[in-house]
Each structure stands twice: as structure tokens, then as C-alpha cells.
Amino acid sequence: MEETIPEAAVKPPVNWLWRAVVLAAITLMVPSVAYMGLFEILSSPYYGMPKYLAEFLGASAALFLSLLTLKVLNDREALGLDIKNLFPVRPFRRTALVFLAGAAAEAVVIAVYLVLALKYYRDYEGGTGIAKMWLGNDKWFFVFASTALYAACEEIFLRGIVFTYIKKHAGFLKALLVSSLIFSLMHGGRLWLSLLMIFFSGVIYALAYEKTRSLAVPCLLHGMHNSALRVILVLGLLE
């Protein structure tokens, strides 16, 4: 006589794609609201704080909330992440090699993007807002620090949460492609060329995370990517 499994004990299959999108949306809102909200408040005439300092404080708050969100979702979604050891750099040699390989790949992606953008989209003004924010700002340390901090926020929830969640439920390849696609689409409203560049960058960050099991490398690569593009926009190389 066959043993029947109680209906309540049979767990329905996890709709990982929908859940991953929801997780991405929720975790995107957390740092974004903190970052932009604090920046607007602190740089308003009422407080009169310099924009570079307001941006730095906003990015710092966003990073703190991102780490807190990661801790909560790690427990709730059973991601199995070691919260106390998310940014290791050892073994140093392996980490350095992965970082250098990622930086070289990023340089190629950015170079191809610039060549195509200069050839086909010279009149595109998508970076005007960023350029205005940076022009005339002599506090470059805070500017670069803010860029790196917010890049870390995105890596925490895209590679730390979304990639790990999808990998757990659907495997590495789907985690690699879907997390990179979400990363690209969340920077919506841009040229297809920009979205394609962001997608390939996301693939690089996910591979770096997979090879090192550390968020330190993708955070550094992402921060360097953002800083390089911002400097290019400020110098007017795409005009």
C-alpha cells in the first residue's frame, strides 16, 4: 500500500522570477529613498548644507539601510549568507586576480560603449543632470566616496540578495542572466546602448562575486565604473 503524503506537507514550487523582481524593487527603494531624500533635504536652502556633503551623508545612510535590509532578508528568505563575512579580500592573490580581470573587462565594455556613443549618439543628453551636479564641485573626495557608497548599495541587493536568491531556487546561469537584466532595466529611460553596457557590467560583477564569494570586488568594480563615466560626462567627452 502506497504511503500518501499529506496535502499540507507538499510545498508548491517557488515562483522565483516574480519573487526576485519583488525583492529587487523593494531593496532598490530602500537606498534610493534614503539617498535622494536626504540629499534633497540637507541641500535645501533651509539647511544650506553643501551639495557634496549632503550627497555623501545620503549615500552613507543608504549604505547602512542596505546592509540592514540584507540582514533582514537573509534571515527571512533563508539565503544562507554569512553577514559578518560578506566583504573578505582573502585569499588576496585570488581576489586581486579576479579584480584585475574584472577591471580589464569593464574597461573594454566602457571603451566599446564610448566608441559607439560618439559615433551614433553624439546629441544624447542623458548625462546632463549628472554633469551639472558635479561641475564646479572641488570636493572630489566626497564625490567619489558617494559614488562608491551608492554602488555598494546596488551590489548588496543585486548580487547579495537577488543573485543569491535566484541561484538558490533556479541555478547559477539564470541567476547570472536575470540579475544582470534586472540591473540593466532598473536604470531605465536610457538608450538601448546604455542598457546593453549595464547588462554586461552586471554579468562581470556577478561573475566576480561568484568567483570570490565576496561583495568587495563587485563593489569596487561598480564604483570605478560609475566614477569613470561621471568623470567622462563632466569633462564633456560625450558632447
Q: Do the domain assignments include residue 200?
A: yes
Q: Do the domain assignments include residue 4?
A: no
Per-residue pLDDT tens digits for 182-224: 999 887 656 788 899 999 999 999 999 999 999 999 999 999 9
Per-residue pLDDT tens digits for 65-114: 999 999 999 999 999 999 889 999 888 999 999 999 999 999 999 999 88
CA distance 133 to 115: 25
Secondary structure letter of residue 15 according to DSSP: -
Asked whether residue 162 carries a pLDDT value surpassing 50, the answer given is yes
Q: Do the domain assignments include residue 7?
A: no
CA distance 236 to 127: 10
| CA nearest to 201, candidates 214, 219, 213 | 219
Q: Do the domain assignments include residue 129?
A: yes
Q: Do the domain assignments include residue 1?
A: no
Write out the residue range of the structural domain in which residue 222 sits: 14-82+91-234
- The amino acid present at 69, given as its one-letter code, is T
CA distance 125 to 97: 36
CA distance 33 to 121: 31
Q: Do the domain assignments include residue 8?
A: no
| CA nearest to 149, candidates 207, 70, 33, 64 | 64
Q: Is the dihedral of CA 164, 195, 226, 49 positive or negative?
A: negative
Question: Residue 52, exposed/middle/buried by CB under 10 A (0-12, 13-18, 19+)?
Answer: buried
Number of separate domains in the chain = 1
- pTM of the predicted structure, to 2 decimals: 0.86
**What integer pLDDT is reported at residue 215 of this predicted model?**
95
| CA nearest to 81, candidates 209, 208, 220 | 209
- The amino acid present at 144, given as its one-letter code, is F
Q: Which residue would you say has higher pLDDT here, 122 or 70?
A: 70
Q: Do the domain assignments include residue 6?
A: no
Q: Do the domain assignments include residue 239?
A: no
Pair 99, 223: CB distance under 8 Å? no
Q: Which residue has the cell 533563508?
A: 78
